[in-house]
Amino acid sequence: MASAPESRGTAVRSGRPAGAASSLQTLRLLESGPRGLTEAQAEERLVKHGENTVPGSHPVPWGLRLARAVGEPFTAVLLCLGLVSAVIASWGTACVIAVLVVVSAVLRAAGERRAERSVAALCAVLPQTATVRRRPAEGAAPVHRELPVDQLVPGDVVRLGAGDLVPADVRLLRASGLTVHQAVLSGESAPVPKHAVDTGCERPVGNGEFTGPGAPDSADPVPGAKGTADTGPGIGGATGPGAGDATEFSAPHLCFQGSSVASGSATAVVVATGAHTRFADAWATPPGRRRGTFDRSVRSVAWLLIRCMLLIPPVALLADAAVRGRGLETLPFAVTVAVGLTPEMLPVVVTAALARAAGGLARRRAVLVRRLHALGDLGAAGVLCTDKTGTLTQDRPVLECSLAPDGTPDARVAQWAALSAFWTLHLAELPVPDPLDEALLDATVEPDGPAGSGDGGGADLGGLWDWEGVAALPFDPVRRLSCAVLRPPHADGTPGPAAAPHAPEAAEAAAGGPGEYTAYGPGEYTVVVKGAAEEVLERCALDDERRAELHRRAALLAEDGLRLLAVGCARRRSRLGPYVPGDERGLTFLGFVGLRDALAPTAARALAGLARQGVAVKVLTGDHPGTAARVCRDLGLLDADGTPAADAPSQDAGATGTVRPGAPPGVVTGAVVDTLDDDRLAEVAARSTVFARCTPAQKARVVRALRTRSTTGFLGDGVNDLAALHAADIGLCPRTAAPVAREAADVVLGAKELTAIEDAVAAGRRCGGAIASYLRIVLSSNLGNVLAMLVAGVLLPFLPMLPAQVLVQNLCFDAAQLALAFDRPGTVEGRRRPAVLRPRALLGFVTGFGLLNAAADVATFAVLALAVRHGTGTDSAAAFHSGWFTENLLTQAMVMLLLRTGGSAAYARRPARPLLLAVAGLAAVGLLLPLSPLGAPLGMTPLPWVYYPMLALVLCVYGAALALARAAGERRAAGARPGRYGKGRKSDG
């Protein structure tokens, strides 16, 4: 039994000699063949080469994790303050800070590890697979099967189709209209054309043009293959750079792990797997995604606080110098005050809240959150864009009508479309048939004709199946066309008995097309083109009037909600060279085929739910404007006159969006998008609901325009949605999406249950709410403490708090505040509006409540002064420290209950049990620690009993003031906010 030869190991592993060798040499070098490996060979190679795991998927070592945690902005600033303390030999403060840094770094690293593990476990539910050709045993026929990507070995023969991720480094053996996205490797944003060049003769093999047994094997590349000025994009639809690029990634016959198939199909042999791929070389760790809104707002809050922290020491020093005439000796105290402001548990609380919410979504709704912070972004999202097919509709089209050019039923149009689909699938070796092609084949091969159509098919296909495919180009979402070149059964010039009645020329004649052919000359083939009505009609030899009339007919059919295919054909002489875009011109129009794609059963409910949540939904589709408008009307997104439905949230409600005469009202077409500059597009996008006939790039542009005004999600399932998924703040896809869409998405919805989005949005908002709660509570009480410390530092002859006491107090606060990650602050308001964390609004809130907290502290100082005077023989410094410690922990406990997100309505929802326990624990420590044996070593002393009733009074007044201020703030905010989301202030959560 052969195994990958040791001496050729490097060649196999690097895949580089494969770049210089012909496909045959490559197969030999890999001891493989076009029929693939045997299962036994593959098993042996798997042991030898290891699993084909994505580089960077290995766990991050603890050391690196801790180092990253220390590098977080707050921890880094704490560390700097600690160093300052050490330099001035203030060892107490330095130790306090060191303990805080270690605790927060360890908690953060542990939390992240746990979150990563659960995300990895969730993602393992959706393993990536590849279609591989293997033989059960030597001499047995090869079979194609789906195999987890990590089981691929060098020498495996794999099939690639649109929407697939390239599972390893591969060398193309055959390719048809193949273009790949390899931005992650080479930075090229446009798809790059690839073909199976055999080095040595440098010519494409079954490649960039039509693929088939008869056409291109002996072909030379032709101008126009990669797009020229006169022919437009090549038949592969690819215009990307890279062809002339000297880098290895531009090698036309090599595709690399990390890239994905944009269009076309291919058969390829695996030349390198796992750590030996170029992806592994290029990226020690996978490239990070762009930071979303949530990340950005948390960071901006962090930097705002850091600026405040850095301001505090000089202010404290100056105040002390001015009032007490003290100098640098108060620096340790000033540093302690700055430390007091730090919400060092912020990263821990964020990670814990998000991980917990993601786990809940996976359990309850089978929603997989692949990037934790995307959940925060989803909570802040004001706009959700979605494609139509496969998301709002089921993507299970059924043939409904087959119409001749004059609009009369004619089964042959669907049959020609089906024949073209059959050969496209067959010759391009597509791993998965396109749903439209599948529907055509299903309908036309059934003996009773297409289901539900009185006029669609039902005719005998025997004659048509005798036609043979010569070359084909699969559907490409940019060109919106697919083509097949067919050879008639008797291509020697004699029309075959069965072929004649069905030959497209007969339809040409009936349609009044050019020429009335009755027979094929020797070597004459027929090119059958099917695709979007606009694209096919543009390529048909028609006068303007007739073309306009056919456009009107197409629009009428589309407005009935049908997915529409136009079919055209042309006779071409057989040739040795490949067929080129020019061959698709001057077609004879055969007719239209209409297919009905039912709405997804949960789509309407999901859209209504999103509307209730204040999320504006926009539909971005490649389909006909009429079809898109009809679907949106049926789903309640558009009113009959094209205005966004009355109850739909909008960024600028009430616009009709009639920006293009000809398109149904309310629909913006891709062609119009191209005429608008970015600012104007942002305006139009904000007030329109439906964007039709959009290319993948136009979808991405609309999403980018929307992002300039609001956090924007995109829900899509196909390869034509890839660019938009990348462009959005949050990419979502259903579980049945193409692998490439699943890989690009941050959130994968369970099954086709769209209502799960509503739950995911609600979970994101709850996380945003919990994090906003944490920040409000921690920052307002920290700010209060800092102000009180500054006042006490100036007024008192001793330190207001000893370093050990600061340490214990902070650790108690930190431990209790972690419980906020488990709270579920749910309010009616929170459910209706995006949860956006706004640093400035937060700052206003924190300043107000911080001053209130400082007032309570100062009142406590007065109470303490009275109590200490009353208590005989009490050490006044120790009494002050104990009294303030108790008051601090009690006020913190109150604040945690009263300042939870959601305002007064939040009180209706009971705090989560961990929060109640934390609050009770905090209060107990505050009351009991000074009295316990631990009190004395910490410099505390029991207080005279008279202190407690006075403290209770202060706390009652403080609690009442908190509740009143909170209610007043909410009334003000509600008054400033109109009923509909988008015109008023956005919530802080």
Q: Which is nearer to ligand ATP, 479 or 765 (CB)?
A: 479
User: How many Cα neighbours within 13 Å face the side chain of 782?
Assistant: 26
Q: Which is nearer to ligand ATP, 279 or 422 (CB)?
A: 422
Residue 436 token pair: 């439209």
Among 72, 156, 377, 387, indicate the residue that binds ligand ATP (CB under 6 A): 387
Q: Which is nearer to ligand ATP, 572 or 693 (CB)?
A: 693
- Cα dihedral 362, 366, 370, 375, rounded to 10, equals -70
Among 150, 377, 429, 437, indicate the residue that binds ligand ATP (CB under 6 A): 437
Q: Which is nearer to ligand ATP, 561 or 718 (CB)?
A: 718
CB of 717 to ligand ATP, least distance (A): 7
Q: Is 434 in the site for ligand ATP (CB under 6 A)?
A: yes
**Among the residues of 125-207, which ranges form H helices?**
183-186
Assess contact for 693 and 622: CB atoms under 8 A. Answer: yes
Q: Is 930 in the site for ligand ATP (CB under 6 A)?
A: no
Among 498, 528, 532, 859, indicate the residue that binds ligand ATP (CB under 6 A): 532
Among 131, 207, 267, 389, indicate the residue that binds ligand ATP (CB under 6 A): 389
Contact pattern for ligand ATP over residues 220 through 249, marking x by CB under 6 A: ------------------------------
Among 134, 388, 572, 618, indicate the residue that binds ligand ATP (CB under 6 A): 388
Q: Which is nearer to ligand ATP, 657 or 718 (CB)?
A: 718
CB of 266 to ligand ATP, least distance (A): 18
**Among the residues of 125-188, which ranges form H helices?**
183-186
Assess contact for 935 and 942: CB atoms under 8 A. Answer: yes
- Please choose, out of 168-176, 225-233, 431-439, 457-465, the segment that lies near ligand ATP by the rule CB under 6 A: 431-439
Assess contact for 883 and 945: CB atoms under 8 A. Answer: no
Assess contact for 474 and 177: CB atoms under 8 A. Answer: yes
CB of 456 to ligand ATP, least distance (A): 17
Q: Cα 115 to the chain's mean position, in Å?
A: 18
Q: Which is nearer to ligand ATP, 434 or 753 (CB)?
A: 434
Residue 865 CB contacts under 8 Å (≥ 6 apart), including other chains = none
Binding to ligand ATP, residues 713-732 (CB under 6 A): 718, 720
The CA distance from 729 to 695, in Å, is 20
Q: Is 45 in the site for ligand ATP (CB under 6 A)?
A: no
- Asked if 281 is an active-site residue, the reply is no
Q: Is 263 in the site for ligand ATP (CB under 6 A)?
A: no
Element (H, E) at 526: strand 524-531
Q: Cα 515 to the chain's mean position, in Å?
A: 52
CB of 532 to ligand ATP, least distance (A): 4
The CA distance from 414 to 437, in Å, is 10
Residue 826 token pair: 């749910």
Residue 866 token pair: 């009275």
Strand ordering across the sheet containing 690-692: 368-369, 747-749, 730-734, 712-715, 383-386, 616-620, 690-692, 667-669
The catalytically annotated residue of 295, 320, 387, 437 is 387
CB of 638 to ligand ATP, least distance (A): 15
CB of 227 to ligand ATP, least distance (A): 19
For the range 699-704, what are the long-range contacts, defined as Cβ-Cβ under 8 Å and sequence gap of 24 or more? 699/385, 699/387, 699/620, 699/723, 699/724, 700/724, 700/726, 700/727, 701/673, 701/727, 702/385, 702/618, 702/620, 702/673, 703/385, 703/620, 703/727, 703/728, 704/678
Contact pattern for ligand ATP over residues 606 through 635, marking x by CB under 6 A: ---------------xxxx-----------
Indicate the SS3 state at residue 473: strand
Q: Which is nearer to ligand ATP, 262 or 298 (CB)?
A: 262
Among 193, 376, 531, 731, indicate the residue that binds ligand ATP (CB under 6 A): 531
User: Binding residues for ligand ATP, how many (CB under 6 A)?
Assistant: 23
Q: Is 161 in the site for ligand ATP (CB under 6 A)?
A: no
The CA distance from 596 to 450, in Å, is 12
Q: Is 477 in the site for ligand ATP (CB under 6 A)?
A: yes
Among 74, 475, 589, 691, indicate the residue that binds ligand ATP (CB under 6 A): 475
Residue 774 token pair: 């944490």
Contact pattern for ligand ATP over residues 557 through 596, marking x by CB under 6 A: ------xxx-------------------------------
The CA distance from 504 to 642, in Å, is 39
Angle between helices 91-124 and 331-340 (to 10 degrees): 20
Q: Which is nearer to ligand ATP, 151 or 424 (CB)?
A: 424
Q: Which is nearer to ligand ATP, 531 or 713 (CB)?
A: 531
Among 383, 436, 484, 638, indicate the residue that binds ligand ATP (CB under 6 A): 436
Residue 632 CB contacts under 8 Å (≥ 6 apart), including other chains = 619, 638, 666, 689, 690
CB of 418 to ligand ATP, least distance (A): 11
Q: Is 397 in the site for ligand ATP (CB under 6 A)?
A: no
- Please choose, out of 110-118, 338-346, 381-389, 501-509, the segment that lies near ligand ATP by the rule CB under 6 A: 381-389
Closest by CA position to 802, among listed 944, 930, 932? 930
For ligand ATP, the binding residues (CB under 6 A) are: 387-390, 434, 436-437, 475, 477, 480, 482, 530-532, 563-565, 621-624, 718, 720
Q: Which amino acids are annotated catalytic?
A: 387
